[in-house]
Structure 1
Amino acid sequence: MLPDHFPTQLIVAGIGTEIGKTVVSAILVEALQADYWKPVQSGALTDSDTETVRQLVSNSTAQFHPEAYRLTQPLSPHAAADIDGIHIDLNSLALPKTSNALIVELAGGLMVPLNDHELNIDLVQRLGLPVILVSRNYLGSINHTLLSVEACRSRNIPIAGIIFNGPTVTTSESFILTYTNLPCLGRIGQEPTFTQDVIRKYANQFTEFIGTR
C-alpha cells in the first residue's frame, strides 16, 4: 500500500539518453496503476514509447494519453520539429485531465531543447510535478546525475528520489545518494529482456519499498 504522502503524479526524467526512462515509466505505471503520457515523441512513431509501455503493463486501470507532438525523426525534439516544420509550444502542453495517478515521461534529459529557447526542464517547471530521476552507471554518470539534481534544485523542482537502472556500482550509487541526500526508490537489474512478468516483479518491489517509508 502506498502512503498518502507519496506523490502519484510524477515526471520521469533521465540523466541522459538511453538511460531506461521508458522501462522505469512502465514499472511506475504498473506499481501505481497510473495513466501514462509522453508529451513529445521523436521518431519511432510505429513503435513509440507509449506503445512500449502499453505492451509492458498488465493492469486494466492505466490509460495512455496521446502525445502532443509526434515527430518523425529520432533527434533532439527541437531539431526533429524543425525538420517536420513544427514549433513545439510549451503553452500547448497541459497535463491530461485524469483523476488517476499519472506518469509523464520526458523526451531525453532535462536540458534537452524543445525549441530555440526552451528546454525539457522548462516544461517540468510548467507542469509542476515532482521528478523521479533515472540514473545508469557508466563513466561520467556521477557528474551527469549530480548536474541533473542541481538543475532541478536551482529551479526549486522537487525530486521524489532516484532509480538506478542497469548494473550496480556501489561506490558510485553510494556517493550520489550521500551527496544529494535523495532516497533510492529502486534498482533495476540488467535483465535479458523486459516482459510483463519482469515489470510486475519490479512494480511489486517498488510498492513494497515505498510502503515501508
Structure 2
Amino acid sequence: MSERIFITGIGTGVGKTITSACLTEALQADYWKPVQTGLLEGTDTETVQALLSNDVSVCHPEAYCLEAPASPHLAARLENISIQPHRILELANQYQPANRPLLMEGAGGLMVPINEDVFTLDLIRELNARVVIVAQNYLGSINHALLTARLLQHTGIAVIGWIFNGDYHTNEDDVIRWSGYPRIGRIPLAHPVDKAFVQHQAQLLTASLQTLMA
C-alpha cells in the first residue's frame, strides 16, 4: 500500500512524534520529518528511529535541520536560509516506498508557515497526503481541534481520523461528533516511552488503521 500520511497537530507539544512512532510501527511505514527545528534536544527522526522495533521501516534524513526552536520560516530566516517546497516535494517522491506508506511528521499545526508564502496546509495539499490529526485535552483544545478540522474540510484534504494523547476526556467524543472525523485511537501518557510501549500501542491501533485506510 503506497500512500502518504501526514501527521499534524492541533498545536505544539500534543504528541505528534510519539504518535508518528506508533503509526510507523503499526504500518511498517517509512518515516520522514521534512523540516526539523530546535536541534538542542535532538531530532524527532532520532527519537522515532530509537522507538521502532520492526526491521522494515526506514527513517529518512530531513530536508532542512534548523537550530532555533521556532516555526520553520522563522528558524530559516535566522540562518539566512530559504525553505524551498519544491525540494521537499522532490524528496517525497524519492523517499516514497513502492509498496508501503510514507509517514510524514509536520511542525506544529496546519497554519505553521514553512517559508514566507507557504504554510503546512499548502504543503500537505501539494504532497497529496491523507492526514492524521493529533490532539490532546487542555483548556482551549476543543477550539483548536475544531478549527483544524474545519480548515481541512474547507480545503478538501482527506483525513484518516484522530489520535488522542493522554487520559480519556469527554471532550474527545464531542470533537469526534462535531468534526465528523473518526477516532483512530488513543495513546496514553507513559514513562518511560520505549520500544515495548510503542510496539504495544501499534498493535492496539492496527485494526482501526486498516479499517479506516481501506
Structure-2-length-normalised TM-score: 0.92
SS in 1 for 2:96: coil
The question of whether the paired residues in 2 share the 8 Å contact of 1:45 and 1:70 is answered with no
**Residue identity opposite 1:198 in structure 2:** F
Counterpart for residue 158 of structure 2: 158
How far residue 189 of structure 1 moved from its aligned partner, in angstroms, is 1.0
Counterpart for residue 37 of structure 2: 42
SS in 1 for 2:31: strand
Counterpart for residue 176 of structure 2: 177
How far residue 208 of structure 1 moved from its aligned partner, in angstroms, is 2.8
> What is the alpha-carbon distance in structure 2 between the residues aligned to residue 211 and residue 97 of structure 1?
19
**Residue identity opposite 2:21 in structure 1:** A
SS in 2 for 1:134: strand
**Residue identity opposite 2:87 in structure 1:** S
Q: Give 1:1-213 correspondences, 5 Å limit.
A: 9-44=4-39, 47-94=42-89, 95=92, 96-99=95-98, 100-170=100-170, 172-211=171-210
SS in 1 for 2:104: strand
How far residue 43 of structure 1 moved from its aligned partner, in angstroms, is 1.6
Deviations 1:131-151 (A, max 9, x none): 000000001000000000111
The question of whether the paired residues in 1 share the 8 Å contact of 2:29 and 2:57 is answered with yes
Residues 1:212 and 1:156: Cα distance change in structure 2 (over 3 Å): closer
The question of whether the paired residues in 2 share the 8 Å contact of 1:8 and 1:32 is answered with no
How far residue 91 of structure 1 moved from its aligned partner, in angstroms, is 1.6
SS in 2 for 1:107: coil
Structure-1-length-normalised TM-score: 0.92
**Residue identity opposite 1:113 in structure 2:** P
SS in 2 for 1:197: helix
How far residue 210 of structure 1 moved from its aligned partner, in angstroms, is 3.4
Deviations 1:72-104 (A, max 9, x none): 111111110001110011121121232232110
How far residue 193 of structure 1 moved from its aligned partner, in angstroms, is 2.0
Residues 1:184 and 1:175: Cα distance change in structure 2 (over 3 Å): same
**Residue identity opposite 1:193 in structure 2:** P
Structure 2 segments unaligned to the other structure (5+ residues): none
Q: Report the RMSD for the aligned CA atoms in angstroms.
A: 1.5
**Residue identity opposite 2:196 in structure 1:** D
How far residue 113 of structure 1 moved from its aligned partner, in angstroms, is 0.8
> What is the alpha-carbon distance in structure 1 between the residues aligned to residue 110 and residue 176 of structure 2?
19
How far residue 209 of structure 1 moved from its aligned partner, in angstroms, is 3.0
The question of whether the paired residues in 2 share the 8 Å contact of 1:135 and 1:163 is answered with yes
How far residue 118 of structure 1 moved from its aligned partner, in angstroms, is 1.3
Deviations 1:18-73 (A, max 9, x none): 01000000001100011000000002267200000000011000111111111111
How far residue 152 of structure 1 moved from its aligned partner, in angstroms, is 1.1
> What is the alpha-carbon distance in structure 1 between the residues aligned to residue 211 and residue 124 of structure 2?
28
How far residue 178 of structure 1 moved from its aligned partner, in angstroms, is 0.7
Q: How many residues align?
A: 207
Structure 1 segments unaligned to the other structure (5+ residues): none
